[in-house]
Structure 1
Amino acid sequence: MLIVFGGLPGAGKTTIARAIAARRSATYLRIDEIEQAIRSAGFLADVGPTGYAVANALAASNLKNGCLVLADCVNPVLESRQGWRATAAGVQKPLLEVEVICSDPTEHRRRVEERHSDIDGLTPPTWQAVLAHDYSPWPEPHLVIDTAVLAPHEAIEMVERHMNL
Structure 2
Amino acid sequence: MLIVFSGLPGTGKTTIAKDLAATTGAVYLRIDAIEQAIRSSGALAQDVGRSGYMVANELALSNLCIGSTVIVDCVNPVRESRIKWGDIASSSGVQLANIHVICADTNEHQRRVETRTGQPAAANCGILKSVIIAKIESIPPQHRLTHGVRDKKT
- Is residue 43 of structure 1 aligned with residue 43 of structure 2? yes
- Cα shift at 1:13: 0.5
- The residue identity in structure 1 corresponding to 2:129 is V
- Cα shift at 1:139: 0.4
> Which residue is 1:80 aligned to?
81
> Which residue is 1:141 aligned to?
142
> Which residue is 1:11 aligned to?
11
TM-score, with normalisation over the residues of structure 2? 0.88
Q: Matched residue pairs, number?
A: 149
Runs of 4+ in 1 over 4 A off after TM superposition: none
- Cα shift at 1:115: 1.0
- Is residue 34 of structure 1 aligned with residue 45 of structure 2? no
Summarize the Cα distance change of 1:32–1:145 in structure 2 as closer, same or farther, 3 Å threshold: farther
Summarize the Cα distance change of 1:135–1:55 in structure 2 as closer, same or farther, 3 Å threshold: same
Summarize the Cα distance change of 1:72–1:145 in structure 2 as closer, same or farther, 3 Å threshold: farther
Partners of 1:77 and 1:118 lie apart in 2 by: 22
> Is the CA contact (8 Å cut-off) linking 2:79 and 2:137 kept in structure 1?
yes
Partners of 1:85 and 1:122 lie apart in 2 by: 26
- Is residue 131 of structure 1 aligned with residue 117 of structure 2? no
- The residue identity in structure 2 corresponding to 1:63 is L
Partners of 2:103 and 2:145 lie apart in 1 by: 10
Partners of 1:83 and 1:60 lie apart in 2 by: 11
Summarize the Cα distance change of 1:123–1:92 in structure 2 as closer, same or farther, 3 Å threshold: closer
Summarize the Cα distance change of 1:143–1:67 in structure 2 as closer, same or farther, 3 Å threshold: farther
- Cα shift at 1:141: 2.7
TM-score, with normalisation over the residues of structure 1? 0.83
Q: What percent identity do the matched residue pairs reach?
A: 48
Partners of 1:10 and 1:144 lie apart in 2 by: 19
Which sections of structure 2, spanning at least 5 residues, go unmatched? none
Alignment of 1:30-109 (within 5 A): 30-44=30-44, 45-109=46-110
Partner SS, residue 93 of structure 1: coil
> Which residue is 2:23 aligned to?
23
Summarize the Cα distance change of 1:36–1:117 in structure 2 as closer, same or farther, 3 Å threshold: same
Partner SS, residue 60 of structure 2: helix
- Cα shift at 1:15: 0.5
> Is the CA contact (8 Å cut-off) linking 1:98 and 1:145 kept in structure 2?
no
Partners of 2:83 and 2:35 lie apart in 1 by: 19
Summarize the Cα distance change of 1:145–1:4 in structure 2 as closer, same or farther, 3 Å threshold: farther
Partner SS, residue 141 of structure 1: helix
> Which residue is 1:149 aligned to?
none
- The residue identity in structure 2 corresponding to 1:7 is G
Deviation readout 1:53-74 (Å, 9 max, x if unpaired): 0000000000001101000000
> Is the CA contact (8 Å cut-off) linking 2:32 and 2:123 kept in structure 1?
no
Partners of 1:145 and 1:38 lie apart in 2 by: 36
